[in-house]
Amino acid sequence: MRLSTATVSLSGDLVGKLHACARAGFDGVELFEPDLVVAEESPEEIRALAERLGLRLELYQPLRDIEGVDPGTLADNLRRAEAKFALMRRLGIGTVLVCSNVATATTGDPIVARDQLRELARLAGKYDVRIAYEALAWGRHIDDYRQAWRLVQAVDEENLGVCLDSFHILSRGHDPAAIQDIPADRIFFVQLADAPALTMDVLSWSRHHRLFPGEGSFDLPQFLAHVLRAGYTGPLSLEVFNDVFRQTDTDRTAQHALRSLIDLQERTARLLDPPTAGTAPVAPEAFTFAEIRAENTEPAENLLQQLGFRYRGQHRSRPVRLWAAGQARIILNEQDARGQTATLAALGLDLPDVGAARARAGLLRAPLVFRRVHEGEDVLHGVRAPDGSEVFLCPPSGSEDPPWIGEFTHGSPPTASTITAIDHVNLVQPWEDIAEATLFHRSLLGLEVDSSAQVAGPSGLVTSQVMTDPGHAVRLVLNVAPFGARPGSLAQHIALRTDDIISYVGQNAIDTLPVPGNYYEDLAARFGLRPGFVDELRSLGLMYDRSGGGEFLHFYTPTVGSVFFEVVQRIGGYDGYGAPNAPVRLAAQNRSLLEGRHG
Amino acid sequence: MRLSTATVSLSGDLVGKLHACARAGFDGVELFEPDLVVAEESPEEIRALAERLGLRLELYQPLRDIEGVDPGTLADNLRRAEAKFALMRRLGIGTVLVCSNVATATTGDPIVARDQLRELARLAGKYDVRIAYEALAWGRHIDDYRQAWRLVQAVDEENLGVCLDSFHILSRGHDPAAIQDIPADRIFFVQLADAPALTMDVLSWSRHHRLFPGEGSFDLPQFLAHVLRAGYTGPLSLEVFNDVFRQTDTDRTAQHALRSLIDLQERTARLLDPPTAGTAPVAPEAFTFAEIRAENTEPAENLLQQLGFRYRGQHRSRPVRLWAAGQARIILNEQDARGQTATLAALGLDLPDVGAARARAGLLRAPLVFRRVHEGEDVLHGVRAPDGSEVFLCPPSGSEDPPWIGEFTHGSPPTASTITAIDHVNLVQPWEDIAEATLFHRSLLGLEVDSSAQVAGPSGLVTSQVMTDPGHAVRLVLNVAPFGARPGSLAQHIALRTDDIISYVGQNAIDTLPVPGNYYEDLAARFGLRPGFVDELRSLGLMYDRSGGGEFLHFYTPTVGSVFFEVVQRIGGYDGYGAPNAPVRLAAQNRSLLEGRHG
């Protein structure tokens, strides 16, 4: 099917938007009228440019507040519409979006609306224009696609059909099943938008908070399945009013938008009977490694040594070192890192089918990572996530060392370790990228949003979104820094798992992030813990959480560069991340920062 | 009355918050428990610090989800509460906030709630703690202050009273008049917060969008009048959960918070019988001047000459020049501007009573501006607005030249001018400062928010808030740049008024900002204008708007530094600012910027 986006979904000027859509791989666009009005290019120039770029101008939009009005207003509306039909001919656009009247409707009489839409359709017919009539969620009298379809049937003009917009239908909780009752040749256009679950007025929700499919909470595969079962074969077009995407880089947003449509088509295909699925996301089974990059990785290696990691050696062809403890492997990379302090640069994930995951990455046009390979070395296949971190797709090695460890030499052999694995990884996302990151991990790896929390820090609220595979083997925590926060003001971290944190901390001399006494007093009051247990936690610098039947014990290390470590023990099926303790950590890290600045 | 704020209203750590509150001039604070839990200072240190700073710790908050529970949960709740009562003794805090149960209430039986609150109150009594019970707007069973008061009456313990929070009462639309029925000695605490009119779930509204009094749409003077009529004499305390104030500078937010309480007290005083008003805002009557600052002001002077302004001379003791046309006076200031391109640095306003305005500025602790004065020169009294611009309080000069014009020499005498006055001024506000700016102009000058619009630009949505005096003589348009926009990406401007823009443009050779042809085609379609008139607008580069019975003609100049000019003609009582044309301007300015970068 042809893939399209409304120009309003992107930032920039019209010419820039068209170029970005073509580069991203769209087949066409909906031309949002205000983008044309402010452009210096003539309609003829826009038409010729779109033609050269291979983009179809699928739709002109919107015409508003036409039907259900008094005769004087109708005459004025028809004059206004006719000017736009003439303009559409110059643009070479054959379909116009007409939204149900929200403002000037003076009557809900369906006969009046029918007669006036018929007059509009006949006028449009003179210009070979088709009208796609859409029920806005906040239309004055027509606010349901089923009403719009009945009205279109009543008018009975062949150049009048419906436009189906997932937002207007799903935001109101209308059942999309009746889409299948509309003949395919009367569905003139389909607009797709997702949205987060918000309880607010639907107009503001629609104008500011729409998302690309797969980034919100609407069931768009189900919606699109109804559309496809109806037999619709026209363009699938994104119409996403979003305050953030109006600001983000045009090319990047266009690529991200296209990825959402590709993924939606794949998800929908698997719902059809018979399913016509292409590739599916390949869910990871474990963290293979995490990689820290810095000009000098010794401060990070110092922490790893304290944590009981073993130095497993230096890579034979790169300035890269490996430390390991159990299945937790940390790669320290000094390549191309001049002037950089430690950052969390890459993750390796065990995937049951690397070939399928690579095919999926190709389909989703995920940017590939290049790494030079010497004769005899394993090829690492990686993609770049929206936050710039790299994700490597690795074959599973189970409880064995992966074969590439043989490329590291001059290290120590492995020993038994109290640290068993990487439990989770926290990655900081710029505030403008969280939707794109959510889609990326969801569409490529099948990770789903498991929970979301807001954590108060001394410099603002941090939003923390957990994404995991169905088995919770790979847990990513995406932290969004407050608007306007200094880049790097929030650190990233790798959380390591142990089964006995109390004896582990007792046996290793580890610098832990200091925890204030007030925390332990509150802990005792909140959970009614035995005093002896609280004293033990306090003396070891451990933090505690309890939820459902499970318990969580953990501590943090100091930060090097913008990376720190956490060690966690999960007891009794605890499935969270100690979120109630995050403000304590943020405050302590802020104190360390200030001391560093003053010291 | 004692002025207080909850520590949660400010960013930073607890010690920093206490220092900022003391510096701003607060008498006390409510201690928000999470601020203490994450602090490294002991309760004794916090108590001693507050004592040294002269701050009363007015309230410990909050205790949640106590009443309406099963016996096992109650025992646990009382244990938890008792730990906090003991902590409060160490802190020297005598009152605790208890919120109505939102989560764990298993019964709405008022007898159960009564008995359990009585048990809590008696336990608190052993620690000399008073309980201020508050109905949360989203309480499970108790969500109205009148219910809370009935419950407090039923318990009938002298250390149990109510806490009245303006947000929880006004957000639900509850009539605050019944506050007067509560005996003053049973109102243990009063929390004040404003909020914008939003249609969304009340919990999110409360937790993220509260504002300081005078910044939102609640009628807080009326609310506080009821509280005062009840005879309440305790602290007035701000509890403002706001995502932005959690990020902004602690000292600055504390000053701004205190200003909101001072202003609220003054506004409330004027409602009482007899009114006990102190000073009132002094509304300006006209713009006296606008000042542009730059290292080299010649590019701006070039524009002024094109616009028909006369050079009125150079200041005798400063590198400052004056250009004028009618009552529009533009000062060009090269002092202390090394390396700066043109910015809109100051406004002079005609005020009927400069003395009263200065007293008001002093009361509100507005930062004063210093300007050196030579013998025989007029003293200019100025204050600094939150955006850094200066506002000078000038005696009115009517249609005469103000006397300070005599300080400018070697210029030309005035002549008749088609430009009659400054119509309005657009100032760009950083996104984090708009609430503070609104309060500043409202409390100092009595300007009120007249309208607000969102304008789509190529780099994001710009919010445009108009503030005017009751007579609309002084119109300020506060433009908020999109989150994360580069500073200076949005320009400021001075709009000049004429009564005959068509002959004015015809007679002066003015570089106007280019307007695209598509705009004129859309204009003709939208308004049904005569073709001849549209052609005239197009040939002159004029833009057009119509609203109500009035019409608006205007054009923009190119931008120098970050300042441009607009010339406007208002016809038939048009009261807007041509907002539908703003996207056309933003797009054209963006093209000029890109051309400048490429050229």
Please state the three-class secondary structure of B420-487 as a single string.
EEEEEEEEEECHHHHHHHHHHHHHHHCCEEEEEEEEEECCEEEEEEEEECCCCCCEEEEEECCCCCCC
Residue B157, Ramachandran bin (φ over 0: left; ψ between -120 and 50: alpha; else beta): beta
Amino acid identity of A552? F
CA-based nearest distance A199→chain B, Å: 5
**Mind listing the pLDDT tens digit for each residue in B35-83?**
999 999 999 999 999 999 999 999 999 999 999 999 999 999 999 999 9
Q: Is A40 within 8 Å of B591 when comparing Cβ atoms? A: yes
Which domains are delineated in chain A?
3-269 (3.20.20.150), 286-598 (3.10.180.10)
Closest CA to B130 of B70, B185, B72: B185
Residue of A nearest to B204 (CA): A199
Residues whose CB is less than 8 angstroms from the CB of residue A544 and which lie 6 or more positions away in sequence, other chains included:
A523, A527, A529, A537, A551, A552, A553, A581
Residue with tokens 């104190």: A591
- Stated pTM of the model: 0.95
Q: Is A583 on the interface with B (CB under 8 A)?
A: yes
- Are B439 and B430 spatial neighbours (Cβ–Cβ below 8 Å)? no
Q: Which two tokens stand for residue B497?
A: 């008024």
CB contact under 8 A, B84 and A525: yes
What DSSP string runs through B179-219? GGGS-GGGEEEEEE-B-----B-HHHHHHHB-B-TTSSSS-
Q: Is the Cβ pair A587, B517 closer than 8 Å? A: no
Question: What per-residue confidence (pLDDT) applies to B379?
Answer: 81
Which residues from chain A sit within 8 angstroms of residue B80, using beta carbons? 525-526, 528
CA distance A524 to chain B (A): 9
Task: Report the share of chain A in percent with pLDDT over 70.
Answer: 99
Task: Name the strands in the sheet holding A390-394, side by side, starting at the edge strand that comes first in the sequence.
Answer: A368-369, A381-384, A390-394, A343-350, A286-293, A328-333, A320-325, A310-315, A408-410
pLDDT in tens, B528-583: 999 899 999 999 999 999 998 999 999 999 999 999 999 999 999 999 999 999 99
In chain A, which residue's Cα lies nearest the Cα of B459? Answer: A247
Q: What is the pLDDT of residue A597?
A: 60
Name which of B179, B176, B178, B169 is nearest B206 in CA terms: B169
| Least Cα separation, residue A245 to chain B (angstroms) | 8
- Which residues, numbered 57 to 76 in chain B, qualify as contacts with chain A under a Cβ-Cβ cut-off of 8 Å? 76
Give dist(CA B490, CA B480) in Å, integer: 9
Q: Give the closest of B247, B461, B590 to A484, CB-based.
A: B247
Cβ-Cβ contacts under 8 Å, B41 against chain A:
516, 518
- Chain A CB within 8 Å of residue B517 CB: yes
Inform me whether the C-beta atom of residue A461 falls under 8 Å from chain B C-beta atoms: yes
A534: which chain B residues are within 8 Å (Cβ-Cβ)? none
Residues 6+ apart with CB under 8 A from A539: none
Task: Write out chain A residues lying below 8 Å of B244, CB-based.
Answer: 483
Handedness of CA B407, B411, B417, B423 (dihedral sign): negative
**R_g of chain A, CA atoms, integer Å:** 28
In 3-state terms, what secondary structure has residue B80? Answer: helix
Percent of chain B with pLDDT over 70: 99
How confident is the model over A526-550, as pLDDT tens digits? 999 998 999 999 999 999 999 989 9
Q: Tell me the per-residue pLDDT of B184-221, one tens digit each, with 9 for 90 and over.
A: 999 999 999 999 999 999 999 999 999 999 999 999 99
Residue of B nearest to A513 (CA): B40
| Cβ distance of B518 and A42 shorter than 8 Å | yes
Q: Residue B378's pLDDT is what?
A: 79
B34 interaction partners in chain A (CB closer than 8 Å): 456, 583
Q: Searching chain A, which residue's CA lies closest to the CA of residue B481? A: A247
For residue B84, which residues of chain A lie inside 8 Å, CB to CB?
525
Over residues A562-587, the pLDDT tens digits come to: 999 999 999 999 999 999 999 999 99
Q: Indicate yes or no: CB of B246 within 8 angstroms of CB of A461.
A: yes
Among residues 485-504 of chain B, which lie with CB inside 8 Å of chain A? 485
Smallest Cβ distance to A42: which of B83, B201, B517?
Answer: B517
> Nearest residue of B to residue A40 by CA position?
B516
Quote the CA–CA distance of A320 and A311 in Å, as a whole number. 12
DSSP 3-state of A99: strand
**Which residues of chain A have a CB within 8 Å of the CB of B458?**
11-13
Residue B406: HSE in the Cβ half-sphere, 13 Å Cα cutoff: 7
Interface test with A, best of B37, B41, B455 (most A CBs within 10 A): B37
Q: Count of A–B CB contacts within 8 Å?
A: 159
CB contact under 8 A, A37 and B519: yes
Smallest Cβ distance to B12: which of A36, A458, A461?
A458
Average pLDDT over residues B226-245: 97
- Rounded Cα gap, residues A170 and B493, in angstroms: 43
The one-letter amino acid at A453: A
A432 has a chain B CB within 8 A of its CB? yes
* A485–B484 C-beta distance less than 8 A: no
Q: How confident is the model at residue B599 (pLDDT cuts 50, 70, 90)?
A: very low
- Chain A hits for B40, Cβ within 8 Å: 514, 516-518, 588, 591
A299 close contact with B: CB closer than 8 A: no
- A530 and B CB contact within 8 Å: no
For tokens 């306007």, name the residue: A484
Of B76, B456, B519, nearest to A246 by CB-CB distance is B456
Task: Say whether A76 and B39 touch across the interface (CB within 8 A).
Answer: no
- Mean local confidence (pLDDT), B1-25: 98
Range A169-178 average pLDDT? 98
List the single residue in B with minimal CA-CA distance to A482.
B247
Look at residue A497 and tell me whether its pLDDT is greater than 50.
yes
The whole-number pLDDT of residue B12 equals 96
Q: Taking a C-beta distance cutoff of 8 angstroms, is the pair B343, B562 a contact?
A: yes
Contacts of A467 (CB under 8 A, 6+ apart): A438, A441, A442, A447, A448, A449, A450, A475, A476, A477, A478
B528 at the A interface (CB within 8 A)? yes
Two structure tokens written together for B44: 């004794």
CA dist A557 and A564 (Å) reads 6
Q: Is it the case that residue B108 has pLDDT exceeding 50?
A: yes
The C-alpha atoms of residue B11 and residue A457 are separated, in whole angstroms, by 8
For A516, the closest of B33, B38, B458 (CB atoms) is B38
Amino acid letter at A195? Answer: A
Per residue in A355-389, pLDDT (tens digit) is 999 999 999 999 999 888 888 877 889 999 999 99
- Record the tokens describing residue B241, joined without a space: 């959960």
Least confident of A227-236, A398-407, B126-135: A398-407
Quote the CA–CA distance of B243 and B241 in Å, as a whole number. Answer: 7
Q: Which of B451, B489, B467 is nearest to B579 (CA)?
A: B451
The DSSP output letter for B380 is: P
Q: What spatial distance separates the first Cα and last Cα of chain A, rounded to whole Å?
A: 62
Q: Angle, nearest 10°, between helix axes A250-269 and A434-445? A: 40
C-alpha closest to that of A592 among A554, A567, A543, A556: A556
For residues B258 and B25, the answer to whether their CB atoms sit within 8 Å is yes
pLDDT of the residue at B160: 98
**Planar angle of CA A155, A156, A159, nearest 5 degrees:** 100
- Does residue A83 belong to the interface with chain B, where contact is any CB pair within 8 Å? yes
Sequence-separated (6 or more) residues with CB below 8 Å from residue B230: B179, B180, B181, B182, B183, B184, B187
Q: Which helix (H) or strand (E) holds B536?
A: helix B531-540
Helix ranges, A270-399 (H): 298-306, 354-363
pLDDT band at A599 (very low <50, low <70, confident <90, very high): very low
Partners of A31 on chain B (C-beta within 8 Å) are: none
User: Does residue B44 belong to the interface with chain A, where contact is any CB pair within 8 Å?
Assistant: no
| CB neighbours of residue A437 within 10 Å | 23
Are B394 and B403 within 8 A, CB to CB? Answer: no
Select the residue of B80, B460, B522 nearest A37 (Cβ to Cβ).
B522
Instruction: Supply A524's token pair.
Output: 């005792």
Mean pLDDT of chain B: 95
Residue A188: closest CA among A168, A167, A162, A166 = A162
CA-based nearest residue in chain B for residue A463: B243
d(CA B151, CA A596): 52
Mean pLDDT of A85-111: 95
Distances B18 to A558, B4, B248 between C-alpha atoms, Å:
27, 11, 16
* Distance between CA atoms of residues A443 and B467, nearest Å: 47
Minimum-distance CB partner of A247 among B34, B87, B459: B459
* Chain B contact for A39 (CB, 8 A cutoff): yes
Chain A environment of B581 (Cβ under 8 Å): none
CB contact under 8 A, B458 and A588: no
Mean pLDDT, residues B393-398: 91
Identity at B199, one-letter amino acid code: T
Phi, psi of A253 (to 5 degrees): -65, -35
How many whole angstroms separate alpha carbon B260 and alpha carbon B215?
8
The whole-angstrom distance between A273's CA and the closest CA on chain B is 40
Q: Which of A319-333, A375-389, B145-159 has the lowest mean pLDDT?
A: A375-389
Interface contact B518-A37, CB threshold 8 A: yes
Query: A398 in helix, strand or coil?
Result: coil
Bridging pattern class, strands B419-429 and B492-498: antiparallel
On chain B, the residues whose CB falls within 8 A of the CB of A483 are: 243-244, 247, 431, 483-484
Alpha carbons A138 and A165: distance in angstroms, whole number: 13
Are B339 and B561 in contact, with CB atoms under 8 Å apart?
A: no
